[in-house]
Amino acid sequence: MAECIFCKIIKGDIPSAKVYEDDLVYAFLDISPINHGHALVIPKEHHESSATVPEETAGRMFRVASRVGVALKRKYDWDAFNLHLADGTAAGQVVNHVHLHVVPRGVEDGFRWNWRQLKYEDGQMAEIAGELAARVNADLAGK
């Protein structure tokens, strides 16, 4: 996609601090990090949703992201890391090119995910799980 900032980064039209690159994915440091070392792993092909990323590429994204996270922990003494993917603007996706955040974390880094925790009503969890299972199994069977 011509106007996509991540596609421009992959082409070299916009500079980036590259961490890793292969035939399927590109990893680079986020210019507005939550913590220093915060990286993004993106598919080289333009995909706006994780639902359209080929399975091999999605697997590579997660493999590379986990290796980046481990490298951050070992080299820079971080305690842990988060992998975060927002799919769609309602989920917080800002750039419409799938990207997986690798966020290094420390026990006292001061960052907190602002997640709420809801409760299910009686039977609601089983009902939702059953409906989702049917849809996911149907989608995966249709490969």
Q: What are the angstrom distances between the C-alpha of 88 and each of 26, 91, 94, 110? A: 20, 5, 8, 26
Q: Domain for residue 133, yes or no?
A: no
Q: Specify the number of domains making up the chain.
A: 1
Q: Is residue 96 part of a domain?
A: yes
CA distance 133 to 136: 5
Phi, psi values for residue 84, rounded to 5°: -135, 130
The enclosing domain of 27 has a CATH number of 3.30.428.10
pTM of the model: 0.92
Mean pLDDT, the chain, integer: 95
Question: Each residue of 71-101: pLDDT tens digit?
Answer: 999 999 999 999 999 999 999 999 999 999 9
Q: What is the pLDDT of residue 142?
A: 79
**C-alpha–C-alpha distance, residues 6 and 94, integer Å:** 11
Q: Positive or negative CA dihedral for 90, 93, 99, 103?
A: negative
Instruction: Quick: pLDDT tens for 12-63.
Output: 999 999 999 999 999 999 999 999 999 999 999 999 999 999 999 999 999 9
User: pLDDT above 90 covers what percent of the chain?
Assistant: 92
pLDDT, greater one: 124 or 1: 124
Q: Is residue 23 part of a domain?
A: yes
97 is catalytic: no
Instruction: Name the active-site residue from 47, 97, 99, 101.
Output: 99
Which range of residues forms the domain containing residue 26? 5-116
89 lies in some domain: yes
| pLDDT value of residue 140 | 86
Residue 99: name the closest of 82, 85, 83, 113 by CA.
85
